[in-house]
Structure 1
Amino acid sequence: MSHDARPVFFDRTHTDDLIAYLAAAPSPYHAVAQAAERLEKAGFRQVAEADAWEGTAGGRYVIRGGALIAWYVPSTATPATPFRVVGTHTDSPNLRVKPVPDTGSAGWRQVAVEIYGGVPLNTWLDRDLGLSGRLVLRSGATRLVQLDEPLLRVPQLAIHLDRQVNDNGLKLDKQRHLTPIWGLGPVDEGGLIRYVAERAELDPAEVLGWDLMTHDIQPPSYLGRDRELLAGPRLDNLLSVHAATAALAAVATSAAAEELPYIPVMAAFDHEETGSESDTGAQGPLLGRVLERSVFARGGHDEDRARALAGTICLSCDMGHAVHPNYSERHEPGHHPVPNGGPILKVNVNNRYATDGVGRAVFAAACERAGVPWQSFVSNNAMPCGTTIGPITAARLGITTVDCGIAALSMHSARELCGAQDPYLLASAVKSFLEG
């Protein structure tokens, strides 16, 4: 079901920038760095968690690993001013390098990987893969690495050796069949980290830790006869991170920034795809502590914090499902979100999504103000429903939370697909929500 609004001009420059963002953010650490760079251009400045915070007006952000929390304090804010929070996540399902990465068999050099998140395993076969992530040095400093070159490949078994694969289905063993190759010869112990360190112009002896992962090096791109679709990696959920970043920067630099009735906040968490249970995930204390410290920095106390949270609303932005034309029977027949139909409001009465009637009204009002059409999404009763950071945030902070997103195909695949106009429509709705 769709909810039409007055026509919105499609600003393709937003999607062009999203494409650049996706290409520059193959890991959560890069996604955070790229978002911080955009916020810096909008006047935000980074603050350290270990430092004392000021309560003065302006934009600030904190980074912890693959998570970022940013907020803008208007000059008119009081200690009890409520927040408007946009919640997203920076991680995507992929193959991640194990602690002892160098392995091999039958004369092939290989890299040991572990499956991260819910991965459709076949989508990672026969793709040219690069490496990205971070290296942790002896000094405690970290160095981001991004090798956008064909280094690894998970080769599929030739059909001549499995002639019934099209009849019986492809069955992959996560331990045996997903190990990428990256060369020939005997196992080179320490070879992978030595190679990555040298490419980063570091002494391998200085590297004591790492968080590395694979990524498909094929760049994101427009797709289709009329270029009305967007195909790319990590749309779930970097599309939402990018939209939240753009919206927060636009709100903070608008003429009405100092008159905002709320404090706009962007929360980009890590580890959503594995349950959010970490110091940088939505189940951790990071967002709650940032909001609390923001209240206290402005001279507030526990009563002010309670009042601020009582009026706070969170918009949880994550990807949703468009109707798959080849599997339409798996979708709810009365709710058919379509690409370029605007953002979707996600509802599940069993609280897999956090949206209720109050949240629906908030979301609808934000879309109306922005002139953005929106759609409703609910799962087929016979199919299990996924979840988001929405219910986690609502339960942890006790705040009204709404789940929304973009309709897409191939969620969690190495490459996903959505409408090319929807990213701009989502960002417009998020901006309207933050403005209150």
Structure 2
Amino acid sequence: MREELNQGLIDFLKASPSPFHATASLARLLEIAGYQRLDEREPWQAQAGGRYYVTRNDSSLIAIQLGRRTPLEGGLRLVGAHTDSPCLRVKPQPELTRQGFWQLGVEVYGGALLAPWFDRDLSLAGRVTFRQDGKLHSRLIDFKAPIAVIPNLAIHLNREANQGWEINKQTELPPILAQLAAGEQRDFRALLAKQLEHEHGLQVDAVLDFELSFYDTQSAAVIGLEQEFITGARLDNLLSCYAGLKALLAAGDEENCVLVCTDHEEIGSCSACGADGPLLEQVLRRLLGDEESYVRAIQRSLLVSADNAHGVHPNYADKHDGNHGPSLNGGPVIKVNNNQRYASNSETAGFFRHLCEEHGVPVQCFVTRSDLGCGSTIGPITASRLGVRTIDIGLPTFAMHSIRELAGSYDLVHLVKVLSAFYQSPELA
């Protein structure tokens, strides 16, 4: 099971180089499992026992399994994660010609760890909007091949490099795509039009706009002498999206189960399709009916917010509270912060801990050092918008927000197992 799940995650990461592709990958796997797409612009005829999913902006997805018990009887079992990861996004007018090289201007998306982006074989993926025969269309593209690189400056020219230096996001991050002949100019939109023809067989009149991210072409892999680790890009947080999907597809038909994978978490979730927007509330209100039914069902529900946690790095153990140091392959981590950066409380944490123990899943706890700042998740945001009881959990990882992150290869099994049990649990906290 471990090998199968890890290979499935590797395949999912490869197919999901952008939030748009991640959402498309999730939708494809849901449809194979018999889930039906609902259009927000049309009336819904959802029925008990039905399996549905909704997307917004092509980058956020909510999947719903309506059980035999009504939400008023048993509530909703929700698992939340996010589809976006820190990266380099192409600017609207990105063309740069410097010293005979063609480069693209980029903007840093989210809290990216920048140094690992240098000397990587980069490709480009995302969504392109274009005009064809007078009509507007959008398509996803993925160059797949390594087409760009951000070379480091040689140590001879930067003697302080190993003492650390501040990376200038404007001048030092533009990737190199090509070397130009004297007087040669390149048109980025023309390149995108050519890619649309290559991927989709489209002859477009004009490329109008785009949302494109650079990514590392090196595949995720299971590594270590005993294959203990999995390393790859976008583990934060596509690992949780994948685990939630596998658990949902394994759920029985008794309970009402929801998987929420939203965009823009890395920049605060405040968007039409983010956790701090109206998407989840609007979908649930349409499914649950009148105001009283909605409130009653929400108060019987529980959200598991699944987002990666910081494992104790052996070279930097002093960055952790001595009593709260999660280990890779030590199981899911309950994340606690009394200032509500995480939404866990004693009841929801107790429920999750009991669920883990009941199903033989190891469980850990994380509290940040009192003299360090604490990150956050979609947990507090969703809890405050819906009033739903929430537990924040995640798998321990190293190098969070790097271009390549590291997690335990046994932990995915642990997470899928406990989320599957959650989806099938007859009683909530």
TM-score in terms of structure 2 length: 0.94
User: 1:188 maps to which residue?
Assistant: 186
Deviations, residues 257-306 of structure 1 (Å, cap 9, x unaligned)? 1x32xx1100000000000000110000000011111112xxxx211111
Q: Is the 8 A contact 1:89 1:271 kept in 2?
A: yes
Work out the CA distance in 2 between the residues paired with 1:164 and 1:116: 27
User: 1:304 maps to which residue?
Assistant: 293
User: 1:377 maps to which residue?
Assistant: 366
User: 2:130 maps to which residue?
Assistant: 137
Work out the CA distance in 2 between the residues paired with 1:80 and 1:55: 18
The higher-RCO structure (CA 8 Å, 6+ apart) is 1
Deviations, residues 341-385 of structure 1 (Å, cap 9, x unaligned)? 111000001111000001112211221333211101111111111
User: 1:7 maps to which residue?
Assistant: none
User: 1:114 maps to which residue?
Assistant: 107
Classify the secondary structure of the residue corresponding to 2:146.
strand
Work out the CA distance in 2 between the residues paired with 1:130 and 1:359: 42
2:40 aligned residue (32, 37, 49): 49
Alpha-carbon offset, residue 117 of structure 1: 0.4
Identity rate, percent: 41
Deviations, residues 174-202 of structure 1 (Å, cap 9, x unaligned)? 00000000001244134443443343333
User: 1:283 maps to which residue?
Assistant: 276
Q: Is the 8 A contact 1:102 1:187 kept in 2?
A: no
Work out the CA distance in 1 between the residues paired with 2:239 and 2:196: 30
Work out the CA distance in 2 between the residues paired with 1:410 and 1:78: 40
- Following TM superposition, where does structure 1 have runs of at least 4 consecutive aligned residues deviating by more than 4 angstroms? 78-81
Q: Is the 8 A contact 2:86 2:266 kept in 1?
A: yes
User: 1:178 maps to which residue?
Assistant: 173
User: 2:327 maps to which residue?
Assistant: 338
Does residue 364 (structure 1) correspond to residue 356 (structure 2)? The answer is no
Does residue 314 (structure 1) correspond to residue 298 (structure 2)? The answer is no
Counterparts of 1:24-423 in structure 2, within 5 Å, are: 24-57=15-48, 58-64=50-56, 65-77=58-70, 81-138=74-131, 139-167=135-163, 169-185=164-180, 186-189=184-187, 190-200=189-199, 201-251=201-251, 254=252, 257=253, 259-260=254-255, 263-296=256-289, 301-423=290-412
Alpha-carbon offset, residue 208 of structure 1: 2.0
Classify the secondary structure of the residue corresponding to 1:149.
coil
Rate the CA distance shift 1:76–1:165 in 2: closer, same or farther, 3 A.
closer
Q: Is the 8 A contact 1:103 1:187 kept in 2?
A: no
User: 1:5 maps to which residue?
Assistant: none
Q: Is the 8 A contact 2:130 2:204 kept in 1?
A: no
Deviates more, 1:317-326 or 1:140-149: 140-149
Alpha-carbon offset, residue 144 of structure 1: 1.4
Deviations, residues 379-415 of structure 1 (Å, cap 9, x unaligned)? 1111111100000011111111110000000000000
Rate the CA distance shift 1:100–1:68 in 2: closer, same or farther, 3 A.
same
Alpha-carbon offset, residue 12 of structure 1: 2.1
Root mean square deviation of aligned Cα: 1.4
Letter of the 1:163 partner, please give it: R
Letter of the 1:135 partner, please give it: V
Alpha-carbon offset, residue 428 of structure 1: 1.0
Work out the CA distance in 1 between the residues paired with 2:358 and 2:25: 29
Q: Is the 8 A contact 2:2 2:409 kept in 1?
A: no
Deviations, residues 239-260 of structure 1 (Å, cap 9, x unaligned)? 0000011111110xx3xx1x32
Alpha-carbon offset, residue 81 of structure 1: 4.8
Work out the CA distance in 2 between the residues paired with 1:111 and 1:281: 28
Rate the CA distance shift 1:80–1:279 in 2: closer, same or farther, 3 A.
farther
Letter of the 1:359 partner, please give it: T
Deviates more, 1:368-377 or 1:177-186: 368-377
Gaps of 5+ in 2: none
Alpha-carbon offset, residue 145 of structure 1: 1.1
Classify the secondary structure of the residue corresponding to 2:106.
strand
Q: Is the 8 A contact 1:197 1:207 kept in 2?
A: no
User: 1:4 maps to which residue?
Assistant: none
Does residue 427 (structure 1) correspond to residue 416 (structure 2)? The answer is yes
Q: Is the 8 A contact 1:359 1:400 kept in 2?
A: yes
Work out the CA distance in 2 between the residues paired with 1:295 and 1:110: 51
Rate the CA distance shift 1:78–1:118 in 2: closer, same or farther, 3 A.
closer
Rate the CA distance shift 1:116–1:81 in 2: closer, same or farther, 3 A.
same
